[in-house]
Amino acid sequence: MKLTFHTFSGRLLLAFALSACQSTTVDTSSQIHLPENFSQADANAQAVNLTQWWQNWHDPVLNQLIERGLQTSPDIQIAQSRLDEARAQARLAQADLGAQVGVTGNIGATRGAVDNPLANTPLAAMPMTAPFTQNDVDIKGNSAFAGISASWEPDIFGGKRSDRDAATAAALSQQQQFYGAQVLLSGDIAEHYFHARALQAQQKSTAQSIAALERLVQYTQGRFRAGHVSAYEVNQAQSNLTAMRGQAATLHAQYAQHVRAIAVLIGDVPQSFRLPESSVNVLANPATAPIADAPQDVINRRPDLRARAAAVQARAAQVASAKADLLPRFSINFLGQGGRIGISGDDALKGWASLLSVGIQVPLFTNGRIQANIDAADARLKTALLEYDKNLLQALADVDNAYHIQAALSRQNDWLTQAQRQTAKQASDAQRLFQYGNKTLDDALRARISDAQAQEQLVQSQLARAQALVGLYKALGGGWTE
Q: Read out DSSP for 355-398?
A: EEEEEEE-----TTHHHHHHHHHHHHHHHHHHHHHHHHHHHHHH
Cα 225-230-233 angle, rounded to 5 deg: 105
Q: What is the dihedral of CA 116, 121, 125, 127, to 10 degrees?
A: -40
The answer to whether residue 32 is domain-embedded is: no
User: Of the ranges 94-103, 233-242, 312-321, 465-474, which one carries the lowest mean pLDDT score?
Assistant: 94-103
208 and 341 assigned to the same domain? no
Separation of alpha carbons 121 and 133, rounded Å: 8
Q: Identify whether the C-beta of residue 448 lies closer than 8 Å to the C-beta of residue 433.
A: no
Q: What mean pLDDT is predicted for residues 68-83? A: 95
pLDDT-derived band at 12, boundaries 50, 70, 90: very low
- What is the reported pLDDT for 293? 83
Q: What is the pLDDT of residue 347?
A: 53
Whether residues 67 and 109 fall in one domain: no
Task: Output DSSP code: residue 30.
Answer: -
Beta strands in 261-345 (DSSP E): 329-343
Same domain, 185 and 302: yes
Q: Is residue 87 part of a domain?
A: yes
The answer as to whether 349 is a domain residue is: yes
Answer yes or no: is 74 within a domain: yes
Claim to verify: residue 242 and residue 293 sit in the same structural domain: yes
Which has more pLDDT, 435 or 200?
200
Do residue 310 and residue 257 come from a single domain?
yes
pLDDT in tens, 84-111: 999 999 999 998 888 888 888 878 777 7
Please determine, for residue 23, whether its predicted confidence score (pLDDT) is greater than 90.
no
Q: What is the CATH number of the domain that holds 471?
A: 1.20.1600.10
Whether pLDDT at 337 is above 80? no
With a pLDDT cut of 90, the percent of the chain lying above it is 56
- pLDDT, mean of residues 115-129: 60
Task: Tell me, yes or no, whether 244 and 108 share the same domain.
Answer: no
462 compared with 125, residue with greater pLDDT: 462
The count of domains in the chain is 2
User: 318 with 385, same domain?
Assistant: yes
Instruction: Show which of 362, 387, 422 is a domain's final residue.
Output: 362
- Sign, CA dihedral 75-81-82-87, equals positive
**Judgement on whether residues 317 and 350 belong to the same structural domain of the protein:** no
Q: What is the pLDDT averaged over residues 390-415?
A: 93
pLDDT of residue 30: 80
Is the model's pLDDT at 11 over the cut of 50? Answer: no
Mean pLDDT to the nearest integer, 160-173: 92
Whole-number pLDDT of residue 138: 65
- At residue 362, the pLDDT reads 86
Q: Which domain holds residue 90?
A: 38-97+159-328+376-475
13 or 92, greater pLDDT = 92
CATH number, position 144: 2.20.200
What is the structure's pLDDT at 380?
94
Residues 109 and 195 occupy one common structural domain: no
CA distance 381 to 287: 41
Q: What angle do CA 34, 297, 70 make, to 5 degrees?
A: 130
Are 343 and 416 part of one and the same domain?
no
pLDDT in the model for residue 106: 79
Q: To the nearest whole number, what is the mean pLDDT of the chain? A: 85
Q: Are residues 390 and 275 in the same domain?
A: yes
In terms of domains, do 467 and 428 share one?
yes
Task: Answer yes or no: is pLDDT of 27 > 60.
Answer: yes
Task: Compute the average pLDDT of residues 57-81.
Answer: 96
pLDDT of 472 over the 60 cut: yes
By mean pLDDT, which of 137-151, 331-345, 376-390, 430-444 is the weakest? 331-345
pLDDT surpasses 90 at 131: no
Q: What is the pLDDT of residue 26?
A: 67
Lowest-pLDDT choice from 139-143, 175-179, 410-414: 139-143
Q: Pick 304 or 335 by higher pLDDT.
A: 304
**CA dist., res. 351 & res. 297, Å (int):** 69
In a domain? residue 15: no
17 domain residue, yes or no: no
- Confirm whether 126 is domain-assigned: no
Task: State pLDDT tens for residues 272-327.
Answer: 999 999 999 999 998 988 888 889 999 999 999 999 999 999 999 999 999 998 88
| pLDDT number for residue 402 | 93
**Does 78 map to a domain?**
yes
